[in-house]
Structure 1
């Protein structure tokens, strides 16, 4: 049997421990404009809008709260989605593949609809949330398939 590139089973719990606080931090930064002062980081002037000026400018300070929240969500969801099951067999691998294919199709269908109905600066927000929809739909679909499979076995 071909060895798959999955995280250990316990990585799912680590993923939840990372995802939940990161999602709460992300929602706080999005809705309430929360920023932690200790995450203010100076950025070099070549990341500034005025990097073509002849004299160097003072480095800008950028707050990294939103970036930390997004990275935490992505890492947490990745660990949750790609952690091995307790009993990982060919049937589970097939369900995982089906869930991944289904989530890619659903993700791009959602994105196609939103491209047609969302314009301007709001589209940037749509793209930001679209980073998470693939993993969220994959995890939801995989858990649904596992739930259905487990309850079919109990019904027999």
Structure 2
């Protein structure tokens, strides 16, 4: 079965590099207010009809980290393995299905038990959870399969 929607295997490394750069940047921006000064940009004030009237400065460090992390997770999750056979395709599909179910179970619990600003923060993290759960599940199943084959059983 041909996987039409997967990136070539070489993009997996690019994805891991993006994750390795973006995750610490995002944590530093979110928890320690770290910013890159060159990412300070003026935005149009909300409600302003004149595009020439610029509003307050806004720093885009956290947005860059978020975009980098999303792209890195996508490249890592959806790049072909060196040997992409039907067994890998099945593991990939099962992992994706499992991650969607698990993500929505967590989302339902979040809706029930978390309110206000913490809910907004939880939803921000929820952007990444489907891909993170998918990667964890997929590589766990891949590891189990390789270990099982390695035992000669």
Q: TM-score, normalised by structure 2?
A: 0.93
- RMSD across aligned C-alpha pairs, in angstroms? 1.7
User: 1:6 is matched with which residue?
Assistant: 6
8 Å CA contact 2:15–2:74 kept in 1: the answer is yes
User: 1:150 is matched with which residue?
Assistant: 146
- Aligned residue runs from structure 1 range 56-135, under 5 A: 57-135=53-131
Q: TM-score, normalised by structure 1?
A: 0.91
Deviation, structure 1 residue 25: 0.5
> Following the alignment from structure 1 to structure 2, what is the Cα–Cα distance between the partners of residues 153 and 110?
33
> Tell me, which stretches of 5 or more residues in structure 2 are unaligned?
none
User: 2:33 is matched with which residue?
Assistant: 33
> Tell me, which stretches of 5 or more residues in structure 1 are unaligned?
none
Q: Output one character per residue of 1:128-155: Cα deviation in whole Å (capped at 9) or x when no partner.
A: 0000000000000000110011011011
SS of 1:51 mapped into structure 2? coil
Number of aligned residue pairs: 152
- Aligned residue runs from structure 1 range 131-142, under 5 A: 131-142=127-138
Q: Output one character per residue of 1:78-106: Cα deviation in whole Å (capped at 9) or x when no partner.
A: 01100100110111111100000000000
